[in-house]
Amino acid sequence: MSATQEKFWEKPLQALTELEWEALCDGCGRCCLKKLTDSEGEQIQFTRVVCRYFDERSSRCKCYGERTQLVPDCFNVKQMDIGAVNWMPDTCAYRLRFDGKPLFDWHPLVAGSRDKMQAAGISIGKRVISEEYVHPDGYEEHIIRWVKA
């Protein structure tokens, strides 16, 4: 890693290049989980139901480039006001950096691999079910407590 690339993740979000922005994502998949909100839209509950395009093996979106066209409720985090949303997981690197907080020591950029992230139970792989197999009225049956906003 060169001196100019060293710890780019400590820069303010708006100072990141496109490649740095993409690299900041730890690939946990938590943002791909379906969420439920109360009638006021204030309380968020995560479900273990995941977007149909989430690939559990790679922990990545199968259609990343077209995701916002194919999935109407998919968000482009780079175009969002991160401070105005209440659903971003408390482990999300974008949320942490927006709040001026450091990345966790398990983050692949800090740790050097995804091993610590996997050991910390951050990745959603092998704990989810595709939305293809759950009726939207049945999401309540799949509420989880291991992800918090």
pLDDT band at 5 (very low <50, low <70, confident <90, very high): low
For residue 101 the two structure tokens come to 């907080």
Q: How does the average pLDDT of the chain come out, rounded?
A: 91
Number of neighbouring beta carbons within 10 Å of residue 79: 7
For 10, counting Cβ atoms within 10 Å of its Cβ (0-12 exposed, 13-18 middle, 19+ buried), the class is exposed
Integer Cα distance of 109 and 102 in angstroms = 11
pLDDT tens-digit series, residues 91-115: 999 999 999 999 999 999 999 999 9
Q: What is the pTM of this model?
A: 0.87
Amino acid at site 30: R
